[in-house]
Amino acid sequence: MSVLLTFAFALQLIVGGYMYSFVLAAGQRSSNARATRIPDLVAFAHPIAALVTFSVWIAYVTSDRTGFAWASFAAVLMTASGGAVMGVATLRGSRYVDRPEPHRGVLDPGDPSEVRVAEKQIPLVSVALHGGTFLLLAVGTFLVALGVLD
């Protein structure tokens, strides 16, 4: 199980890095996105927390100490709190890249700040894969920490 979870952690980091590249590109000349709705603190702390979580998991795999498994589980949950904020910002609002979603038809064309935000350019498949892998990691690290799985 440790090998599967290590693979899941690696997949999580790769997909998360891919999605994070959209956020980092916001406002750059090479990007169509002019801004992001993700708070700066969360955008900074979430990837760092993910790398720390992976490091704690590697410490568990190399030492086989239960304390590191519990720390990995706690770190997965802590990292997920930032991921939830980013996920809500990504899934909220219109999926149209070039215009806001009309709220009340023609007379209320919607919020113009929804146009060209980085989160709208992130493919939903990667958001779903990242969320599904999180569920696997949360359950897997919890069961490893309990000693149910090895």
Contact predicate 117/37, CB 8 Å: yes
State the pLDDT at residue 31: 72
State the pLDDT at residue 93: 64
Pick 129 or 30 by higher pLDDT.
Answer: 129
Tell me which residue has tokens 């493919």.
123
Average pLDDT value for residue range 18-22: 91
Q: Encode pLDDT of 45-78 as tens digits.
A: 999 999 999 999 999 999 989 999 999 999 999 9
CB neighbourhood size of 18 (10 A):
14
Give how far Cα 134 sits from Cα of 26, 107, 122, 127, Å: 25, 41, 18, 11
User: What's the Rg (C-alpha) of the chain?
Assistant: 18
SS3 at position 96: coil
State the pLDDT at residue 145: 95
What is the pTM assigned to this prediction? Answer: 0.82
Average pLDDT value for residue range 24-30: 79
